[in-house]
Amino acid sequence: MGANALRQPVVHRPWDNPANKWYFYAPNLQGQGGTALFDYTASKGYLDFTTTGKLLGAGMGFWVNRP
């Protein structure tokens, strides 16, 4: 396993079909602390994992951007 395989993904974006929206998570924004992740998510119209209590689960499609 190379060094790139061990790097954290930049973003996770699972799709919520009933809401017709993407969920969004970015470790770098969470690492900034405060409301940086929530503020970005809300400003782009994404759904937030924390406020909705959403977890990735079986059968859930998602997009991952890696550096």
pLDDT in tens, 8-64: 556 778 888 888 999 998 888 999 999 999 999 999 999 998 888 888 887 777 888
Per-residue model confidence (pLDDT) at position 35: 94
SS3 state at 30: helix
Taking the model in full, what pTM does it have?
0.71
Category of 55 on φ-ψ map: left (φ > 0), alpha (ψ -120 to 50) or beta: beta
Q: What is the pLDDT of residue 5?
A: 45
